[in-house]
């Protein structure tokens, strides 16, 4: 397995744990490639489709501090209502865009 795939699997595992701790049920598609990495749902019937991304930052021209590199959803992901889940592997912090409603 290529290193970048290993990094992605780690992020998906951290995201899965994060969701389970918030009382979501989690399903991970069996296909290796697809528009959704994780399907999560809760007892209220809320279903969320997530694309997991490892947190990355860069310093843009004219700036002094690093900012998140935002990824774009594909047209299929937009149609499905997929959300991006940014996972920081060092801190295990998860940021979902747009954020989940309580």
Confidence of residue 1 (pLDDT cuts 50, 70, 90): low
What is the overall mean pLDDT for the chain?
A: 88
Q: What is the mean pLDDT of residues 16-36?
A: 92
pLDDT reading at 4 higher than 70: no
What single string gives the DSSP state of each residue in 37-98? SEEEE-TT--EEEEEEEE--EE--TT-SS-EE-PPPPPHHHHHHT-EEEEE-TTT--EEEES
- Higher pLDDT: 30 or 26? It is 26
Q: Give the pLDDT score at 10.
A: 92
For the segment 9-14, the average pLDDT, to the nearest whole number, is 93
Mean per-residue pLDDT, 30-44: 90
Q: Which CATH number fits domain 3-71+83-97: 1.20.1250.20, 3.30.420.40, 3.40.1350.10, 3.90.1150.10?
A: 3.40.1350.10
């Amino acid at each position: 397995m290529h290193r970048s795939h290993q990094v992605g699997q780690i992020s998906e595992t951290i995201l899965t744990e994060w969701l389970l701790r918030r009382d979501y049920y989690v399903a991970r598609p069996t296909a290796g490639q697809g528009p959704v990495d994780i399907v999560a749902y809760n007892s209220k019937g809320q279903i969320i489709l997530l694309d997991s991304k490892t947190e990355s930052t860069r310093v843009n021209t004219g700036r002094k501090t690093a900012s998140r590199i935002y990824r774009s959803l594909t047209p299929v992901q937009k149609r499905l209502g997929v959300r991006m889940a940014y996972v920081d592997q060092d801190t295990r912090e998860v940021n979902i865009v747009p954020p989940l409603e309580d």
